[in-house]
Amino acid sequence: MNTNNRFLTSTGRVIPWCIYGTAWKKERTANLVVKAIEAGFRGVDTACQPRHYNESQVGDALKRVLGKGIRREEIYLQTKYTAIDGQDPKSVPYTVNASVTEQVNQSVEVSLKNLQTSYIDTLILHSPMRDYEQTLEAWRTMESIVASGQVYQLGISNFYDLALVERLYEDVEVKPVVLQNRFYQETGYDKELREFCSNKGMFYESFWTLTANPHVLSSNAIKAIAQKHGKTAPQIFFRFLNQSRVVFLTGTCDEQHMLEDLSILEFELSEQEMVLIRLVLGLE
């Protein structure tokens, strides 16, 4: 069976096939992250962006689970530098008027403190900056942090322009290992971007995966496949992504759904079923 339960990045590091997303959980973050890890998740996604993430509570959760049979190196932890345009003016985690370089450095320092860790597995540029020069400045700074050993690898998020991704990839020394985007119909499910990732040894991470795709989950094809396997529609969709070598984020607050999400490796979709789902997505 092609379980796709172990993905290796170009740096030789393991990236989980599914990641627990912590956006918009506010004061519930710590308890939910603990439940997710206890359920079996080994990847956690957060950001140094107080508007949408409670990064320090992710750190509190890690402190609670580490030492109880789980080691830090077993947990894949990714966080993000979020530019000033993506921050709440009332809670910016770095000096507002500082240079981009200083902002990135301060953001990572805050993240390390919040997460109570000495290193970050993957640092992600949360979105393109105001112009390419600033984007490159942010990336160069992130590269220097990789060189310091505080970050192991880098990624990008909310990059939907293929030409921009290609340009950045060619211009930088430390190549991105992940691209994290919304997986939805409006962008054609990033077909060309996902092909680029595949060709470059990058992993595509999907977020907003279920919320943006009610038409997929309610389709007759998905329903029929779910009935055949005795699974739920979300499990079928997630297994489709897994077999397509897409790392998916799930931010469910339901413990039963956590277990269901983690159990998708117990079955495999046939090539015919994969084709049917691609047809639903308009990818065939």
Point out which residues pair with 205 in neighbouring strands. 180, 247
Q: Which one is the CATH code of 12-176: 3.20.20.100, 3.40.50.620, 3.40.50.720, 3.30.2320.20?
A: 3.20.20.100
Provide block-wise average pLDDT over 10 residues at a time, the chain (284 residues): 78 95 98 98 98 98 93 97 98 98 98 98 98 98 98 98 98 98 97 98 97 97 98 98 98 98 97 98 94
Q: Residue 126 has what DSSP assignment?
A: -
Q: How many helices (H) and strands (E) does the chain have?
A: 11, 10
Sign of the torsion formed by the C-alpha atoms of 145, 146, 149 and 151? positive
Amino acid making up residue 204: Y
Q: What is the pLDDT of residue 3?
A: 66
Q: State the pLDDT at residue 284.
A: 85
| pLDDT tens digits, one per residue of 198-210 | 999 999 999 999 9
Q: Are 148 and 190 in contact (CB under 8 A)?
A: no
DSSP structure class, residue 245: T
Supply angle C-alpha 24, 55, 154, rounded to 5: 105
Residue 198 falls in which region: left (phi positive, over 0), alpha (psi -120 to 50) or beta: alpha
DSSP structural state of residue 70: B
Cα 234 to Cα 231: distance, rounded to the nearest angstrom: 8
Amino acid at the residue 77: L
E-only strand ranges, the chain: 7-8, 14-15, 18-21, 43-45, 76-81, 120-125, 151-157, 178-182, 203-207, 246-250
- The C-alpha atoms of residue 197 and residue 189 are separated, in whole angstroms, by 13
Structure tokens at 106: 């301060």
Sign (positive or negative) of CA dihedral 223, 260, 121, 22: positive
pLDDT for position 2: 57
Residue 150, both tokens: 């505080």
- Token pair in block for residue 190: 């990033």
Token digits for 3? 């379980």
- Residue 56, token pair as written in the block: 């320090």
Per-residue pLDDT of 113-124, as tens digits, reads: 999 999 999 999
Give the pLDDT score at 170.
98
Which sequence spans correspond to the domains of the chain?
12-176
Burial label, 118 (beta-carbon count in 10 A; 0-12, 13-18, 19+): exposed
